Amino acid sequence: MVEVFAVVRLRAMELITILNRCHRFRGFVYHRTRFSPDHKSIEVSVRPRKGSAAICSRCHQPAPGYDQLAERSFEFIPFWGYLVFLLYAMRRVECPRCQAVVVEEVPWGDGKRTLTKAYMLFLARWARRLSWKETAAAFRTSWEKVFDAVEHVVTFGLEHRTLGAIDAIGVDEIQYGKGHKYLTLVYQIDLDVTRLLWVGKERTIQSFQGFFTLIGDEIAAKIVFVCSDMWEPYLKVVREKCSQALHILDRFHIVAKMNKALDEVRAGESRRMARDGMAPLLKKSRWLLLKREENLQTEQRFRLRDLLRYNLKTVRAYLLKEAFQQLWDYNSPAWAGKFLDEWCRQVMRSRIEPMKKIARSLRQHRQLILNYFWAQKQLSSGVVEGLNNKAKVTMRKSYGFRTFRALELALYHSLGKLPEPESTHDFF
């Protein structure tokens, strides 16, 4: 009695039973499982259920059969160190609606790819945690197949996402690849939804306009806030497409620009001092000067204090940069404006060219900077910076991304909050 019971339990756990539990489709049955001749993979043959008509892949309706193609394999999720393949001979239908002989539609695959949909979703989910290269290695597949999987999931997500109303957007450029290649990223930065909406090639007027073509005039007209940096093509598009929105120069972009100017001053002065045979005071000072003082370790803080005693251009630029931070403490746009004007006046007298360049640029964009103070209670500040950092991490994880397309997919995949294709079972 006990033995019979054990046999039943074992039989109940046959592979087909498991597959029927997690990956079952109407109109098809799992027929037989076997090891491949080299014992490295498991092959599961699939057959149409008797009496069930094939579905035309063009009009998605049942149609009379025509013939059957040679058996092909669909890669399924690997199992205990074995690759798993579904083997199936696709039928062709003679579809009266389409008036053509068409290959049937199968629910587990998309006809073009060799991976099953379940496996693509599985790989794509892992590819969000690991780099694509690591994902391929972990599941003994290729980088190209991981690419296919992510492309499948992202394409589905973009087709099925709801754009809805958008209150606030942030536009940002990001550098990638070798040389000066740029992407334009547009984020939704509403208080309750932050996600990547758009990836455009380069950082031109056209790349940003592509986003407005996507959302259409009606949604664009209702955007309340736009955050951007001082990149002129973006400013121009915002003026055209979102003239009613409050346009804000993002704090993080201004700080980044300021740091860049300071770094330029330091590098120039450091070279000059070396040339003139002076003591290398500025050696290894880069991070001392660029980091916020409260983020320095004690020893670094002492070194910074020491450095600040010297009458160097770099030190003066540093103090100007530090003084500027006070701007963000203001609540009133009017007082912030007074402070900004006074700071720019001081800088223009400083004879430090990179800083003067910043001051000129800030004066030119004075209104957009002060808009920050009009909006600050209504926007989750720092959100563009956070998204930008995530985008950089995605890129860094991506040493295999040779093309714009791969990078675009990776960014949508990790930042787009896209809906996923439905699955018969949560394999991961």
Q: Which is nearer to Zn ion, 66 or 143 (CB)?
A: 66
Quote the CA–CA distance of 308 and 347 in Å, as a whole number: 18
Piece in contact with Zn ion (CB under 5 A), picked from 56-64, 166-174, 192-200, 387-395? 56-64
Q: How far is the CB of 55 from Zn ion (least distance, A)?
A: 9
Does 53 bind Zn ion (CB under 5 A)? Our answer is no
Q: Which is nearer to Zn ion, 102 or 317 (CB)?
A: 102
Residues 6+ apart with CB under 8 A from 110: 117, 152
Piece in contact with Zn ion (CB under 5 A), picked from 35-43, 52-60, 204-212, 220-228? 52-60
Q: CB neighbours (10 Å) of residue 342?
A: 11
User: What are the distances in angstroms from CA 153 to CA 195, 393, 426?
Assistant: 17, 20, 15
Quote the CA–CA distance of 363 and 365 in Å, as a whole number: 5
Q: Which is nearer to Zn ion, 65 or 216 (CB)?
A: 65
Q: Which two tokens stand for residue 209?
A: 């306009």
Q: Which is nearer to Zn ion, 57 or 135 (CB)?
A: 57
| Number of residues counted as binding Zn ion (CB under 5 A) | 6
Q: How far is the CB of 34 from Zn ion (least distance, A)?
A: 34
Piece in contact with Zn ion (CB under 5 A), picked from 34-42, 51-59, 321-329, 354-362? 51-59
The DSSP symbol for 130 reads S
Closest CA to 109 of 23, 190, 32: 23
Q: How far is the CB of 181 from Zn ion (least distance, A)?
A: 43
Q: Which of 59, 103, 267, 290 binds Zn ion (CB under 5 A)?
A: 59
Q: How far is the CB of 56 from Zn ion (least distance, A)?
A: 3
Q: How far is the CB of 104 from Zn ion (least distance, A)?
A: 10
Q: How far is the CB of 53 from Zn ion (least distance, A)?
A: 12
Q: In this structure, are strands 225-228 and 168-176 parallel, antiparallel, or unpaired? A: parallel
The residue to which tokens 């004007």 are assigned: 341
What backbone torsions phi and psi does residue 190 show, to the nearest 5 degrees? -65, 160
Q: How far is the CB of 67 from Zn ion (least distance, A)?
A: 16
Binding mask 333-372 for Zn ion (x = CB under 5 A): ----------------------------------------
- 411, 391 Cβ separation under 8 angstroms: yes
In angstroms, how far is CA 34 from the centroid of its own chain?
41
Consecutive H or E run containing 11: helix 2-12
Piece in contact with Zn ion (CB under 5 A), picked from 10-18, 54-62, 185-193, 265-273? 54-62
Q: How far is the CB of 217 from Zn ion (least distance, A)?
A: 36
Q: Which of 45, 58, 155, 339 binds Zn ion (CB under 5 A)?
A: 58
- 209, 267 Cβ separation under 8 angstroms: no
Rg (CA), the chain: 30
Q: Which is nearer to Zn ion, 95 or 238 (CB)?
A: 95
Binding mask 93-122 for Zn ion (x = CB under 5 A): --x-xx------------------------
Q: In this structure, are strands 62-63 and 194-201 parallel, antiparallel, or unpaired? A: unpaired
Q: Which is nearer to Zn ion, 94 or 385 (CB)?
A: 94
Return the axis-axis angle of helices 251-275 and 353-364, rounded to nearest 10°: 160
Binding mask 66-95 for Zn ion (x = CB under 5 A): -----------------------------x
Q: Which is nearer to Zn ion, 63 or 150 (CB)?
A: 63
Q: How far is the CB of 108 from Zn ion (least distance, A)?
A: 20
3-state secondary structure of 85: strand
Q: Which of 44, 56, 90, 368 binds Zn ion (CB under 5 A)?
A: 56
Q: Which two tokens stand for residue 114?
A: 């060799």
The residue to which tokens 């120039």 are assigned: 268
Q: In this structure, are strands 181-189 and 54-55 parallel, antiparallel, or unpaired? A: unpaired
Quote the CA–CA distance of 196 and 157 in Å, as a whole number: 12
Q: Which is nearer to Zn ion, 64 or 280 (CB)?
A: 64
Q: How far is the CB of 90 from Zn ion (least distance, A)?
A: 15
Q: How far is the CB of 60 from Zn ion (least distance, A)?
A: 7
3-state secondary structure of 168: strand
Piece in contact with Zn ion (CB under 5 A), picked from 26-34, 59-67, 354-362, 376-384? 59-67
3-state secondary structure of 335: helix
Residue 59 CA neighbour count, 13 Å, CB half: 13
Q: Which is nearer to Zn ion, 57 or 73 (CB)?
A: 57
Q: Which residues bind Zn ion (CB under 5 A)?
A: 56, 58-59, 95, 97-98
